[in-house]
A and B are shown apart, each in its own frame.
Chain A
Amino acid sequence: MPIPAVPKDVDWREFFVEQLIRLTGVSAIALVLVIFLFLVREGVPSLLEVPLSNLLGQRWYPTFEIYGLMPLILGSLLVTVGAIAISLPLGVATAIFIGEIAPEWVREILKPSIEVIAGIPSVVIGFIGIQLVSPLVRQFSGAPTGLTALTGVLLLAYMALPTIISIAEDALDAVPDSYRHAAFALSATHWQTVWRVVLPAARPGIVTAVMLGVGRAIGETMTVMMVAGNAARMPLGLDAFLRPVRTMTATIAAEMGEVARGSTHYHVLFVVGLALFIITFLINLAAALTIFRQQRGGGGRFLA
């Protein structure tokens, strides 16, 4: 909590320093606005140049002036949902392991290891995906190439894991010990306690973890660009996971280098970027609000 600065009796050096610090603080929020406005400025022209029916179409052929965004949006959605489907149970289970089961020495190894996973650059994971995971996928699935949505999903799941694990672990840790003791006193086993008491009490935190994991997965670029195939087709049908797919992020990365500045294609790519900005903004907003609401309401709703 800050101690209010006293303006009256300060010498000029203190005043100068304080104003400088104030400036940096305000510039943070200015930055968000600048980024947003810039994306809008470069992206909105596309809405004027390209009819909405085109943008919402199912084909993405920029060379023929066809800018249907649906394949890209669905591509992002597909790999994200797939990745979370894997990393949510795995991540929560690992969080439970770290928080409730693992002895101290195991925890000392596991926790830094999770941070190391988080630190591996996405291009390195993409590289390993090409070299190791993709051939495996091709072998076991019979798909013509290993560069499929499934490959992307597997790698993305691994990249989202550290986020989910660390936040879920914090959420489990925040559940007061008194809850566990109360359950033990009622002769519950450790597992029953975890499943029926601790996990429900930690639910807001786990939801937050998932939301931030989703944000991470949606925003990932290099990995999906390198292994998911980069074909901008609608990912429909039961074999969608075994076909190549392209995400919004990969589209920007792949095509921005080749567009003429100021062209329609250029503006459309900025609109895609704007969409990503808004989506992740909303996800993080929802996650932050969940945390704030939980802090105010306390974790006692389960026993209320």
Chain B
Amino acid sequence: MKKAQVMTAQAKFLLDDVSFYYGGQAALQHLNLEIADREILAIIGPGMSGKSTLLRILNRLADLADEGRLEGQVLLDGKSIHDADVSVTQLRTRVGIVFAVPVPLPLSIWENVAYGPQLRRGKDRGELDALVEKSLRAAAVWDEVKDRLQEPAMALSGGQQQRLCLARVLALQPEVILLDEPCSGLDPISTMKVETALRALKRDHCIVIVPHNIQQASRIGDQVAFLLMGELVEQGTAEQMFTKPRDSRTDDYITGRFG
């Protein structure tokens, strides 16, 4: 029996009793999670807790896993993303993802950013140019690449590549942006640039981020969720989670008693 769906006016994603199995192993167990729009939700937890899996469920990238199996419902704007009439490729343009390791395609910078929009017909060169510039600006990397748009994207530095990947996702004009440890491996300045960009982006997007350390969650998270071994232990505002956690396991993790 499904639990009653309590939807607030702003919930973008609703996970209803969601479990995910890789073969026989349970990566996520009976998650009930609400993700609000125009906010940054930071998902924290020790390694192998299912945080990356959770992200990949939201845009059905988890479908690519050979032995993955999902139970429960994932609702985007009230509609299940697994309905028969849902276009998966379209879903992935509404819910974009940035990976931990930047993977620029072996194309030019311009072609990387324009890749998503070009998959669908209907935009002319002028529109694409404008979209590319807008996305690169929003990702805080335009100034560094504007004179070399035709050069290979792989020639950029790590921090630039990661912001390029963010721009690539933004060019899809998504509603939701998922980020999986986007700043791991980046220097502090690049990290700061990314976080500033995210703070600006949350005004118009729903953002879900798995930070690679707790400090990042406290810096930019509006809501924080604590995942432990596939189970959602606690969810609340950043202030509440970090100062007065309700569950002792949350407290132990945040204060570093385990990690």
Contact = CB atoms under 8 A, between A and B. Distances in A.
The answer to whether A and B belong to the same complex is yes
A9 B64 contact: no
A301 interface: no
A4 interface: yes
A125 to B, nearest CB: 42
Interface string A1-17: 00110101110000000
Contacts of B90: 9
A265 B46 CA distance: 77
B12 to A, nearest CB: 21
B63 A4 contact: yes
B87 A8 contact: yes
B89 A9 contact: yes
Contact of B84 (A3, A6, A8, A10): A8
B88 interface: yes
A3 B64 contact: yes
Contacts of B64: 3-4
A10 B119 CA distance: 12
Contacts of A9: 86-90
A9 B89 CA distance: 7
Contacts of B86: 8-9
Contacts of B88: 6, 8-9
The size bracket of the interface on A is under 10
B121 to A, nearest CB: 10
Contacts of A8: 84-88
A190 to B, nearest CB: 39
Contacts of B87: 8-9
Contacts of B84: 8
Among A3, A8, A10, chain B packs the most CB atoms within 10 A around the CB of A8
A17 B235 CA distance: 46
A1 to B, nearest CB: 8
A3 B62 CA distance: 11
A297 B87 CA distance: 42
A268 to B, nearest CB: 50
Chain B interface: which size bin? under 10
A9 B90 CA distance: 8
Interface string A191-217: 000000000000000000000000000
Nearest to A3: B64
A140 B55 CA distance: 78
A10 B88 CA distance: 9
A8 B84 CA distance: 8
A251 to B, nearest CB: 50
Interface in B69-94: 84-90
Nearest to A7: B88
Nearest to B88: A6
Contacts of A4: 63-64
Interface string A231-261: 0000000000000000000000000000000
A4 B88 CA distance: 12
A4 B89 CA distance: 13
B81 to A, nearest CB: 12
A165 B85 CA distance: 56
A191 to B, nearest CB: 44
A10 B87 CA distance: 8
Interface in A122-175: none
B228 to A, nearest CB: 31
A136 B108 CA distance: 62
Nearest to A14: B89
Nearest to B85: A8
A9 B64 CA distance: 16
B65 to A, nearest CB: 10
A9 B60 CA distance: 14
Contacts of A3: 64
Interface in B85-115: 85-90
A267 B86 CA distance: 59
Contacts of A10: 89
A199 B63 CA distance: 44
Interface in A7-38: 8-10
Nearest to A10: B89
A9 B81 CA distance: 13
A126 B90 CA distance: 62
Interface string B221-238: 000000000000000000
A4 to B, nearest CB: 7
B91 to A, nearest CB: 9
Contacts of A6: 63, 88-89
A3 B90 CA distance: 17
B96 to A, nearest CB: 17
17 contacts: A3-B64, A4-B63, A4-B64, A6-B63, A6-B88, A6-B89, A8-B84, A8-B85, A8-B86, A8-B87, A8-B88, A9-B86, A9-B87, A9-B88, A9-B89, A9-B90, A10-B89
Q: Closest 8 CB pairs between A and B?
A: A9-B87, A6-B88, A3-B64, A9-B89, A9-B88, A9-B90, A6-B89, A8-B87
Interface of A: 3-4, 6, 8-10
Given A9-B89, A9-B90, 15 more contacts: A3-B64, A4-B63, A4-B64, A6-B63, A6-B88, A6-B89, A8-B84, A8-B85, A8-B86, A8-B87, A8-B88, A9-B86, A9-B87, A9-B88, A10-B89
